[in-house]
Amino acid sequence: HPKPARRSPGRPAAGQPGQRERILDAATELFSRQGVAGTPVKSIAAQAGVTPALVHYYFSDRELMLDAVADEKLQPLVAGVFAADAGEADPMAMLIGIAGRLIRTASATPWFPGLWIREVASGDGALRERVLDRFALQRAGALRGPLAAAIAGGKLNAQLEPALVMPSLIGLTLLPLATTHIWRRLPGAETVDTDTLVRHVCALLTHGLSPAAPKAGKRKESPESA
C-alpha cells in the first residue's frame, strides 16, 4: 500500500472543520488593514496558520475569495443593520435605528469599517462592484421612495436629497470608525466610546433631518390696524 503524503507539522490537512472559515476570516482581516492588492496569498496563509496550497485548495483564484468576502462576510452584516427597521413607519426613527445599529455592528466587527472604506467606497475598490450589484444599491434604492415621500410630506427636512441620505448616513457612521487612529489624537477624544458615537451621530441626524421651521416673515397688518 502507498504511504500517505507527509505534511509539515502544525499545518492542518485539507478538509478539517472550520478551515475554510479561518482562511476567509484571515483574508477579510488583512484586506481591511492593507487592502486586497497589498495582500498576497502567503500572508493570508500565515494569518490563518495554513499553507498557501491550502488557501488555493479552498479558493482557486482571488475572484472566488472576493465573492466569498462579499457574500459571506459583508452581506450578512448589512442585512442585520437594515432588517429591524423594515416595517418602521417613522422615517426619523428608521434612520436613527439604522445609524445606531451600523455603528454598533462596525464597532463589534473591527475589520468592517476599514474594509468598506478601502474596498467598497474607494473608486477602484476590489469589492466595490460586487457589493453594489449584489445588495448595497438594492438596500439604498428601496429606501429612496419612502424617504422622498417623507420629505415631500414634511416629515423630514425639505432640503434633503433622497438619493444622498444613505451615503451621508454611511459617512457619519463608518468614516469615524475607520479613522479612529486620526481623531483619537484630538484633545478629549480618548474618552469617546461606542455609546458616545451613537449619541453624537443621532444628535446630528435629529437636527439635520428635522423639518425646517417656517421662516419668519413680516406680520400682516389686520384690517383694524390699517
**Do both 29 and 96 map to the same domain?**
no
- Judge contact between 77 and 109, C-beta under 8 A: yes
Domain for residue 218, yes or no? no
Q: What is the pTM of this model?
A: 0.82
Domain for residue 224, yes or no? no
82: closest CA among 150, 173, 149, 153?
173
Total tally of structural domains belonging to the chain: 2
> Residue 219 in 3-state DSSP?
coil
Predicted confidence band of residue 207 (pLDDT cuts 50, 70, 90): confident
Please report the pLDDT score of residue 109 as a whole number: 96
CA distances from 39 to 47, 51, 129, 131 (A): 11, 15, 19, 20
Reduced DSSP (H G I as helix, E B as strand, rest coil) percent helix, strand, coil of the chain, to 5: 65, 0, 35
Per residue in 30-61, pLDDT (tens digit) is 999 999 999 999 999 999 999 999 999 999 99
Domain for residue 221, yes or no? no
Look up the CATH number of the domain holding residue 74.
1.10.357.10
Domain for residue 205, yes or no? yes
Please report the pLDDT score of residue 182 as a whole number: 94
Per residue in 136-189, pLDDT (tens digit) is 999 999 999 999 999 999 999 999 999 999 999 999 999 999 999 999 999 999
**Do both 121 and 143 map to the same domain?**
yes
Domain for residue 166, yes or no? yes
Please report the pLDDT score of residue 83 as a whole number: 82
Domain for residue 220, yes or no? no
**Do both 53 and 75 map to the same domain?**
no
**Do both 103 and 179 map to the same domain?**
yes
Domain for residue 145, yes or no? yes
Domain for residue 217, yes or no? no
**Do both 103 and 205 map to the same domain?**
yes
The amino acid sitting at 7 is: R
46: closest CA among 68, 23, 65?
23
Predicted confidence band of residue 17 (pLDDT cuts 50, 70, 90): confident
Residue range 68-73: mean pLDDT, rounded: 97
Using CA atoms, how far apart are residues 171 and 191, in angstroms rounded to an integer? 21
Using CA atoms, how far apart are residues 19 and 213, in angstroms rounded to an integer? 58
- Judge contact between 165 and 147, C-beta under 8 A: yes
- Judge contact between 27 and 65, C-beta under 8 A: yes
**Do both 110 and 183 map to the same domain?**
yes
**Do both 98 and 126 map to the same domain?**
yes
Residue range 110-130: mean pLDDT, rounded: 95
The single-letter DSSP state of residue 189 is G
**Do both 108 and 155 map to the same domain?**
yes
Quote the domain boundaries for residue 47.
17-60
Q: Which of 60, 91, 114 is the last residue of a domain?
A: 60
**Whole-number average pLDDT of the chain:** 87
**Do both 75 and 134 map to the same domain?**
yes
66: closest CA among 129, 159, 137?
129
